[in-house]
Amino acid sequence: MFINFSFQVQQTVSAERGTNVTMLAFISASGTTVPPVFVFPRKKLLPPMYESGPLGCIGLAHDSGWMTGPNFFKALQHFHGYVKSSTTNPVLLLLDNHSSHLDYQAVSFAKENGIVILTFPPHCSHVLQPCDISVFGPFKKAFGKNQNDWLHTHPGERIAITNIAQLSNGPFQSTFTQINIISGFKASGIFPFNRFAIPEWRYLPSFVTERPGKANYLLSPEADTSSSLNDSTNDSLQIPQENVIPLNQLCQMTPSAPHGTSSIHNNGFEVGCSLPGSSTQTDSSHFTLENTRSLNQLTQTTPLTTHGTSSIHTNCF
């Protein structure tokens, strides 16, 4: 028996768009946290913006609402006020490669106060950042649900900047738990340390594509001679000087088929070659396009051959 359900989904969202509020969180491998830091898109900060947020949190202001170097320095001071690190009792702080984390003032403060900063490799935070693995996902989901509940209880109103810290209070306490934090460090292999915790294929986004060098393509009808004939950077194969005949000498020679030559055909061109003094037919000798740079010049002459030397026949004439 099959039952078909038909229902309609309705959701009310805030009309305010394009405003970003950044939350910087600190977690420890022991499962503890440091109160978060909020960055509001304002020039001046008012205490009501963050007072109703998680206990102990602080607020910072910037025009864009994104984390910057000076604000990260203030956040680092906030972090040091809880960990109480020193040069004799250092702590390890793992970060991503955001530009704000490279601020000189912040790095100098960390060095003077025993905060060892270690950044993740590029494009690896999705597997190495414990916050991304086990904390931020549940937090965003709970925060979105909290926003929807607020909109249902405040019909016709919009979520303002002053409501962000308050709406994140409950989700922060329910998702930044000891179990989630410890599982994030374990899944990333950071603590307990496990170099095999993450399969290699998950690091593929961090690999830089290794483009192979220019291949030495054989002269074939499928080969593209438009770019290779003008390429003068690859001299992987050198033709002996005694087998090279100047163009002015080739122009004075009469057309006669050489004996014991080998040839390669390419789009109407027949390229033959035999060593001086050879009396028997040799195996086909393949030349790369890089070593036939003067081919386009030779094709402008009449059909020429010479015995015991290189010859070029054109079917165009």
Domain edges within the chain: 2-195
Please indicate whether residue 279 or residue 200 has the higher confidence score (pLDDT): 200
Q: Contact, 194 vs 187, CB < 8 A? A: no
How does strand 33-40 pair with strand 58-61? Answer: parallel
Q: Indicate if the pLDDT at residue 91 is higher than 90.
A: yes
Q: Indicate if the pLDDT at residue 106 is higher than 70.
A: yes
Q: Contact, 60 vs 71, CB < 8 A? A: yes
Considering 117-121, 201-205, 254-258, the range whose residues carry the highest mean pLDDT is: 117-121
Cβ partners under 8 Å of residue 223, min gap 6 = 217, 266, 289
Taking only the tens place, the pLDDT of each residue in 210-247 is 555 544 444 444 444 444 444 444 444 455 555 555 65
Q: Count Cα atoms within 13 angstroms, Cβ side, for 151.
A: 16
Taking only the tens place, the pLDDT of each residue in 264-273 is 444 444 444 4
What pLDDT was estimated at residue 203? 77
Q: Indicate if the pLDDT at residue 311 is higher than 90.
A: no
What pLDDT was estimated at residue 187? 94
Identify the band that residue 257 occupies on the pLDDT scale cut at 50, 70 and 90. very low
How does strand 115-119 pair with strand 91-95? Answer: parallel
The pTM of this model reads 0.61
Running DSSP on this structure, what letter comes out for residue 63?
S
What pLDDT was estimated at residue 238? 53
What pLDDT was estimated at residue 200? 84
Average pLDDT of the residues in 83-103: 93
What pLDDT was estimated at residue 294? 47
What pLDDT was estimated at residue 90? 96
Q: Indicate if the pLDDT at residue 74 is higher than 90.
A: yes
Please indicate whether residue 104 or residue 271 has the higher confidence score (pLDDT): 104
Q: Indicate if the pLDDT at residue 308 is higher than 70.
A: no
Identify the band that residue 72 occupies on the pLDDT scale cut at 50, 70 and 90. very high
**Angle 233-223-226 from CA coordinates, rounded to 5°:** 55
Q: Contact, 37 vs 75, CB < 8 A? A: yes
Q: Indicate if the pLDDT at residue 299 is higher than 90.
A: no
